Amino acid sequence: MFAYILRRLAFAAVTLWLATLLVFGALLLIPGNPAQAILGIDATPADVAALEHRLGLDKPPLERYLNWLGGVLRGDLGQSIRYETSISGLIIARLGITLPIVIAALLLATLIAVPMGILAARRVGSWADIAVSLGSLVGIVLPSFWVGLMFIYIFIVWLKLPLPSSFPIGGWKDPARAIAALVLPVLTVGLASSSLLVRLVRGSVLEVLHQDYVRTARAKGLSERVVLYKHALRNAALPVVTVLGLEFAQLLIATVVVETVFGIPGLGSLSLLAISARDYPLVQGVVLTIAAFIVLLNLIVDLLYALLDPRVSYA
């Protein structure tokens, strides 16, 4: 196991390095000048050149990349061009808002998808199965921004619930208002995520229930509850755990739309502002952070396989 973890960590380091190369190369192809974007269209060429020199944008691309990569290895993601402050501090502050949304949304999606998927699998072909399948299909096709706008109209405009329509300026200094502001974003993201998970749980449980060892357990006289929860669910959880890990990383990216709709100053909105401002160092820092989460979650999922399935060996 230890040797496998070391190999995966080495592979993760190579993956992150390739991600930095890809992001840096792609940003070079984006038209526009960050210095010009900061100063505006009325800036003189001399002012633009002076700002480029101050920000180091007049250096060759390879030198700029190596300087940035050296800072990353030291734990320094550099300075934001737009905000003129530490990128690491910006990302940590925004993650403090985005991560609670993603974690709560995944928890909500799991609490909805697992019982609904099991219900549909146990009563395949019934009205319950049809209702769950249709509901999940509707949740998949509906765009998240439209669902968010509908939630705003229903809960705030129509029902007039005391939910803030945007995240408080003070952030977590006012925890009650901050949590209230995240209720609708969590519902929006969680319901969308549960629509995919419920179909996966249904298919996985349905496949496991037709395995030989499940038929053998039933033949021994075990109750259906014992067969399902003690024997079937453990193997059915393998593909669900995989998708949950990928879904976590996907939601970090998908929050761009939801945070924009609800005025949440999270990592998604930060990346959108960085792209529009041509803040290349900030874009690189955000993408590197998301890539690190993806690589880490893939490693955690692989290790969880050994706990869920004793047949898995890392020798």
Q: Tell me the pLDDT tens digit for each residue of 163-175.
A: 776 677 767 777 8
| pTM score, whole prediction | 0.80
In angstroms, rounded to a whole number, what is the distance separating the alpha carbons of residues 315 and 308? 17
Work out the mean pLDDT of the chain and round it to a whole number: 80
- Decide: 190 and 109 in contact? Cβ < 8 Å: yes
Which uninterrupted H or E stretch holds 107?
Answer: helix 87-122
Q: Give the whole-angstrom CA distance, residue 121 versus residue 132.
A: 10
Whole-number Å distance between alpha carbons of 150 and 188: 10
Residue 314 has pLDDT above 70, yes or no: no
Cβ–Cβ < 8 Å for 150, 248? no
Q: What angle do CA 77, 266, 38 make, to 5 degrees?
A: 60
Picking from 150, 141, 112, 90, the residue whose alpha carbon sits closest to that of residue 283 is: 90
Query: First CA to last CA across the chain, in angstroms?
Result: 7
Q: What is the pLDDT of residue 306?
A: 63
What six digits make up the tokens of 135? Answer: 């509901």
Averaged pLDDT for residues 48-65: 80
φ and ψ at 86, to 5 degrees? -65, 130
310, 34 contact by CB (below 8 A): no
Residue 86 burial (10 A CB sphere; 0-12, 13-18, 19+): middle
pLDDT for the residue 311: 61
Euclidean distance between CA atoms 196 and 193, whole angstroms: 6
Evaluate the CA torsion angle 113, 116, 119, 122 in order and state its sign.
negative
Query: Which residue from 253, 250, 238, 239 is spatially nearest to 297, judged by alpha carbons?
Result: 250
> What pLDDT does residue 165 have?
64
Locate 299 and state its tokens. Answer: 């490693």
If you compute the radius of gyration of the chain from its CA atoms, what whole number of angstroms results?
Answer: 24
Cα distances (Å, whole numbers) of residue 207 to 115, 132, 201, 203, 210: 16, 17, 10, 6, 6
**DSSP-derived secondary structure for 35-67:** HHHHH-TT--HHHHHHHHHHHTTTS-HHHHHHH
| 56 alpha carbon, distance to own chain's centre | 32
pLDDT recorded at residue 251? 81
pLDDT surpassing 60 at residue 315: no
Tally of CB atoms within 10 A around 116:
22
Average pLDDT rounded to a whole number, residues 34-41: 72
pLDDT in tens, 171-204: 777 788 888 888 888 998 888 888 888 888 888 8
Alpha carbon 19 to chain centroid distance?
A: 17
